[in-house]
């Protein structure tokens, strides 16, 4: 996996008690020190030797192949000077032969993975806060498919509850209702429910009617939620986000599998009916150690189920599909809730999915709220980004017609938004800044796309069919070498991202590559290089960079562009 692992072999041959995992080998902090640096802290500990002593021993006793030009010990580090042509050539050949698979470690080969994400309540147009869930989830889907998992994407449709009941009351003539107006209706419904207890009561009554199986009410609920779901999916599709299956909450109203689960809880005396006739789980009986969050209500006094009950049924259903890995993406506000669910499931011998949390996107004056209409709609945000991108494309690509320009602009807008969200670690709060999120300069998705567009421009002008290897590959500038070693580290980055269930390292990697490439671009003329061998070598470097960046962006759900 590590592109320099081969350098370890002579060392391992010499010290039979050590293995590759006892060493770290990676590009040196800067080129003056060397091409790659060996760290042997773990190995030294195993041999009960001070690290500098072991490094000196290795330098003294181990003989390396001809690809190692020189060695220099620097305290606990051993710095290698390498034959860059040999390594660079190997990197490029690897990238250009594995193509769109370059970077994949195939760690999910033969395994299935089920992921649930987004699952926005079907009551209004999604806001950018919710979109964080969708983008994080969707990129994980892409990451794990890249790693050869068989991935199924589920979306839980919360088509029940008082909120939906209220909305149904507001939506008599659904036909004439544009999707974006549903938010206004929803906000109005919630305001009315606040001030008018009768109206609020009507919401509950409608819900009860729906739960009791009244076909007309069920039809209304379905129509309203379906209308909202369709509208939401259309917005999400603009970001390239799609799902395989939609699971409606109303399907899990009564699930016979939950009788067994409640039975298991009864056996452990972890469930009781309280003085108000509600069915409650006492989590302290099954491993919960604090007072906070100790009780979990399953059923109301009237026998209707709570959200958490239906969600348990849904989870049992999902887990029953037998995927090797089960994930769900949740806002951090669901942390305790997910832990409670996992405890209940564990008590009944049922497995629980692995949760991936993300923190909220906040407005400058606090949290977004769909109920209060205090939101930035994803659709508006996309429109604005598209408009700004279109202005830019119109300046840049004057020879293209408007339709072509707009197609590019939409992809640039998506890149800006997805990248801005995905490059930040998921458990970091984000304060939404309209200007910063719509910037196309600096460390952004469009900057990465721009690097690719420049490469494409060079390769177009090159004119000839692209070579895949060169027998006279040569590297004579540091920026070429830095770029290539960065490219070669892509599989490790992907492995890290998959292990952490976090795509942010891939975004950071794409930026690092783009920066390394632009330094190379300014320093090394490609088409006007000094010799045919150098032209060919640099063309290969460009092609390898394009392939790597394209693959990294694909994981983030961002398209590479021919030009922009």
Positions in 390-419 near RNA (CB under 7 A): 392-393, 396, 408, 412
The residue within the footprint of RNA, chosen from 177, 297, 325, 400 (CB under 7 A), is 297
Residue 346 CB coordination number (10 Å): 13
The interface with RNA within residues 7-26 (CB under 7 A) comprises 24, 26
Structure token digits, residue 72: 């220099």
Given the rule CB under 7 A, which of 104-112, 234-242, 428-436, 543-551 is the region that contacts RNA? 428-436
| Choices 84-92, 133-141, 161-169, 178-186; region in contact with RNA by CB under 7 A | 161-169
CA dist., res. 425 & res. 40, Å (int): 30
Compose the 452-471 pattern: x for residues touching RNA by CB under 7 A, - for all others.
-xx-xxx--x----------
Helical segments of 214-351, H only: 215-238, 257-267, 307-319, 335-347
Q: How far apart are CA 49 and CA 46, in angstroms?
A: 8
Which residue has 């999902």 as its token pair? 318
Both tokens of 71, joined, read: 């060695």
Which of 5, 100, 245, 274 contacts RNA by CB under 7 A? 274
Q: Provide, rounded to whole angstroms, the least separation between the CB of residue 175 and RNA.
A: 25
492 scored as a contact of RNA (CB under 7 A): yes
* Interacting residue with RNA among 53, 109, 219, 367 (CB under 7 A): 367
Nearer of residues 254 and 335 to RNA, judged by Cβ: 335
Kind of pairing between the strands at 77-82 and 68-74: antiparallel
- Select from 92, 128, 323, 511 the one that contacts RNA (CB under 7 A): 511
Q: What minimum distance in Å lies between the beta carbon of 542 and RNA?
A: 9
Query: Segment contacting RNA (CB under 7 A): 75-83, 107-115, 184-192, 257-265?
Result: 75-83
Specify whether the CB–CB gap between 280 and 272 falls below 8 A.
yes
Site for RNA in 196-215 (CB under 7 A): 207
List CB contacts of 376: < 8 A, sequence separation 6 or more.
127, 128, 363, 368, 432, 434
User: What span, in angstroms and rounded, lies between the C-alpha atoms of 123 and 226?
Assistant: 10
Binding mask 208-247 for RNA (x = CB under 7 A): ----------------------------------------
Matching residue, tokens 């996107």: 361
Q: What is the SS3 assignment for 8?
A: helix
Residues 6+ apart with CB under 8 A from 540: 92, 96, 467, 469, 470, 473
The span from the CA of 383 to the CA of 379, in Å, is: 6
Residue 406: how many CB atoms within 10 A of its CB? Answer: 16
- Asked if 33 touches RNA (CB under 7 A), the answer is yes
For tokens 């108000």, what's the residue?
276
**In this chain, which of 77, 146, 419, 490 binds RNA, going by CB under 7 A?**
77
**Nearest approach, Cβ of residue 176 and RNA (Å):** 26
- Rule CB under 7 A: say whether 537 interacts with RNA: no
Residues in the interface with RNA (CB under 7 A) total 104
CB-nearer residue toward RNA: 183 or 524? 524
As measured in angstroms, the least distance from the Cβ of 402 to RNA is 14
Residue 507: which of 560, 447, 445, 446 has the closest Cα? 445
- Going by C-alpha positions, the residue among 324, 322, 352, 320 that lies closest to residue 110 is 324
8 Å CB contact between 27 and 36? yes
Q: Which stretch binds RNA (CB under 7 A): 62-70, 136-144, 313-321, 500-508?
A: 500-508
Does position 284 bind RNA by CB under 7 A?
A: no
Among the residue ranges 60-68, 84-92, 105-113, 421-429, the one whose residues contact RNA (CB under 7 A): 421-429
By CB atoms closer than 10 A (0-12, 13-18, 19+), residue 415 is buried
Distance of closest approach, residue 424 Cβ to RNA, in angstroms: 4
- Beta-bridged to residue 112, according to DSSP, are 150
Sketch the per residue contact string, 96 through 135, with RNA: x for CB under 7 A, - otherwise: -------------------------x--------------
Q: Does residue 483 contact residue 520 with C-beta atoms inside 8 Å?
A: yes
Q: Does 251 bind RNA (CB under 7 A)?
A: no
Q: Does 335 interact with RNA (rule: CB under 7 A)?
A: yes
């Amino acid at each position: 996996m590590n592109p320099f692992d081969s350098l370890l072999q002579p060392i391992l041959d010499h010290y039979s008690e050590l293995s590759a995992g006892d060493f770290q080998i990676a590009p040196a902090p800067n080129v003056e020190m060397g091409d790659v640096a060996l760290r042997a802290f773990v190995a030294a500990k195993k041999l009960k030797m001070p690290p500098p002593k072991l490094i000196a021993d290795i330098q003294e006793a181990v003989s390396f192949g001809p690809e190692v030009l020189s060695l220099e010990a620097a305290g606990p580090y051993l710095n290698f000077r390498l034959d860059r042509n040999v390594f660079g050539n190997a990197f490029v050949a690897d990238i250009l032969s594995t193509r769109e698979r370059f970077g994949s470690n195939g760690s999910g080969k033969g395994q299935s993975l089920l992921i649930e994400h987004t699952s926005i309540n079907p009551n209004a147009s999604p806001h950018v806060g919710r979109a964080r869930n969708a983008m994080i989830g969707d990129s994980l889907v892409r990451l794990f498919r890249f790693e050869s998992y068989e991935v199924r994407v589920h979306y839980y449709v919360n088509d029940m509850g008082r909120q939906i009941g209220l909305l149904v009351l507001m939506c008599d003539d659904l036909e004439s209702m544009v999707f974006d107006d549903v938010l206004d209706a929803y906000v109005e419904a919630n305001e009315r429910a606040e001030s008018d207890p009768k109206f609020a009561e009507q919401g509950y009554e409608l819900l009860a009617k729906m739960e009791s199986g009244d076909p007309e009410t069920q039809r209304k609920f379905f129509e309203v939620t379906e209308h909202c779901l369709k509208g939401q999916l259309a917005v999400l599709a603009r970001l390239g986000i799609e799902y395989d299956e939609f699971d409606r909450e109303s399907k899990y109203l009564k699930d016979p599998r939950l009788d067994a689960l409640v039975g298991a809880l009864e056996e452990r005396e972890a469930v009781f009916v309280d003085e108000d006739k509600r069915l409650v789980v006492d989590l302290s009986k099954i491993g919960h150690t604090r007072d906070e969050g100790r009780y979990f209500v399953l059923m109301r006094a009237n026998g209707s189920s709570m959200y958490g009950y239906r969600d348990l049924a849904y989870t049992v259903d999902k887990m029953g599909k037998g995927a090797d890995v089960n994930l769900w993406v949740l806002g951090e506000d669901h942390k305790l809730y997910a832990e409670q669910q996992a405890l209940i499931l564990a008590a009944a011998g049922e497995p629980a999915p692995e949760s991936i949390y993300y923190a909220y996107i906040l407005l400058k004056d606090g949290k977004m709220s769909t109920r209060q209409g205090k939101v930035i709609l994803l659709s508006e945000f996309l429109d604005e980004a598209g408009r700004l991108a279109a202005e830019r494309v119109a300046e840049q690509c004057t020879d293209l017609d408007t339709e072509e320009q707009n197609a590019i602009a939409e992809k640039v807008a998506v890149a800006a938004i997805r990248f801005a969200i995905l490059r930040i670690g998921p458990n970091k709060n984000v304060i939404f800044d309209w200007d910063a999120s719509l910037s196309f300069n600096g460390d952004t998705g469009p900057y990465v796309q721009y690097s690719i567009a420049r490469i494409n421009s060079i390769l177009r002008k090159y004119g000839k069919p692209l070579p895949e290897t060169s027998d006279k590959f040569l590297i004579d500038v540091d920026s070429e070498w830095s770029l290539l070693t960065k490219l070669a580290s892509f599989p490790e980055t992907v492995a890290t991202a998959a292990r952490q269930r976090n795509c942010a390292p891939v975004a950071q990697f794409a930026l690092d590559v783009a920066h390394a490439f632009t330094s190379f671009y300014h320093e090394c003329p490609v088409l006007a290089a000094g010799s045919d061998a150098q032209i060919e070598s640099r063309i290969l470097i460009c092609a390898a960079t394009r392939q790597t960046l394209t693959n990294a962006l694909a994981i983030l759900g961002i398209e590479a562009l021919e030009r922009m």
